[in-house]
Structure 1
Amino acid sequence: MADIGKGNGQMAMQRPVSAMLAGACALIALGVSPAFAKEKEPPPTPAQVQQVYDCRAISDTTARLACFDRQVAALQQAEVARDVNFFDRASAQKARRGLFGFTLRDLPFFGGGDDDKEQIQRLETTVAWARRYDYDKIRFEIEDGAVWAQTDQTILPRDPKTGDKVSIYPGVMGSYFAEIGGQKRIRVKRER
């Protein structure tokens, strides 16, 4: 801070504000700008699928049917060889739910290409088991097999029990919170 003893109180107020403004600009330049710069482009269509689409452009009906038959057979072979996989919106939602807590936004089939309204905002489930670790922290598994661990120092009045309702939701900057059995929230991270 500036030297207040010289009667320059206005200067004393400007320097902290300037420092905060510079810090905020640095954060924006480092973290937020790339997020705004990213455009959500659809993923490229797999070659096997594009070849089926290309058959539509053939005007002769016999040739078009032969093209469809040939390309659908090739697509089926690619699926059997696991070069191409298909899944519907319900399967994608189930996968998102199972992977809640991991950062997968850049993958279009886990949310990068979908509307944000389809993102899971809160996971409501039950506790399969819960144990204490590091003296006063909780580690618990939910019904789908995901394991979460407490990261803050909040002490819960009672230990969670099997069957307790748990609500897990995102905080800021990649953190997550959990409310277990109606108790106060704790900060958690997904372990597996």
Structure 2
Amino acid sequence: MRHILLTIGLLGSITLPTVAQTTDISTSTVYACVDLTDDAQRLECYDSAVGRLKAAEETGEVVTVTREQVENVKRDTFGFSMPSLPKLTMPKFGNGDKDTTLKEVQIPIKKVDETLRGRFLIYLDNGQIWEQIDDKRVYYSSRRGAEMALIKKASFGSYMMKMDDGVMFRVKRVQ
């Protein structure tokens, strides 16, 4: 839950400035200065654009986010519906028309519990908790344990998981 609130806070702080601003504060205003041919005008343009960008960053209206930070957010939110998340990962990150949607993750397993219905709750090292939702028979030895979970997006918004080299079974993320 803490990860979700942190992520929502991060996304809110990134998307709010574009709605609240009356003047355009973005890198595009800095890049527009390159087209000016007069040196004095170009310098004045750069000073003005960089000054507005710096002021907005100092007040927290604009937040700089690296590709690594975006990928970490995508990985941490894998399995949850985050409608605003794709807006962060569009072509701005140098991928052009490539689909940047995360289709699978591989995360170490912290522990595995079996429910009364014979299904599994899988606790991952990053704090995520996934629950088996199908009746597929999954072979798991509590003595031997499991080290790694591979979780893949499946059809109709569902997810499939495989522990180590076992069989794939349907899961949903509960935390």
Aligned length in residues = 147
Say which one has the larger Rg. Answer: 1
| C-alpha displacement of 1:147 | 1.6
The one-letter code matched in structure 1 to 2:45 is C
- Could you list the runs of 4 or more consecutive aligned residues of structure 1 that deviate by over 4 angstroms after TM superposition? 111-114, 159-163
Match of 1:86 among 64, 68, 76: 64
Note if 1:185 corresponds to 2:168: yes
1:52 is paired with a residue of what secondary structure? helix
Unmatched segments (≥5 aa) in structure 1: 1-45
Deviation string, structure 1 residues 122-152 (Cα, Å, up to 9, x no partner): 2122101222234312112222222211111
Structure 2 distance, partners of 1:111, 1:149, is: 31
Q: Does 1:109 align with 2:88?
A: yes
The 8 Å contact of residues 126 and 164 in structure 1, kept in 2 or not, is answered as yes
- Which residue among 166, 173, 186 is the counterpart of 2:149? 166
Alpha carbon RMSD of aligned pairs, Å?
A: 2.8
Normalised by the length of structure 2, the TM-score is: 0.69
Matched, 1:153 2:121: no
The residue number in structure 2 matching 1:17 is none
Identical columns (%): 21
Give the secondary-structure state (helix, strand or coil) at the position aligned to 2:165.
coil
Amino acid in structure 2 at the alignment position of 1:158: Y
* Alignment map for 1:61-76 (pairs within 5 Å): 61-76=39-54
- Judged with a 3 Å threshold, the aligned counterparts in structure 2 of structure 1 residues 92 and 177 are, in CA distance, closer, same or farther, namely same
Contact 2:146–2:163 (8 Å) recurs in 1: no
What is the rounded CA distance, in whole Å, between the counterparts of 2:157 and 2:82 in structure 1? 12
Alpha-carbon contact 1:177-1:187 (below 8 Å) kept: yes
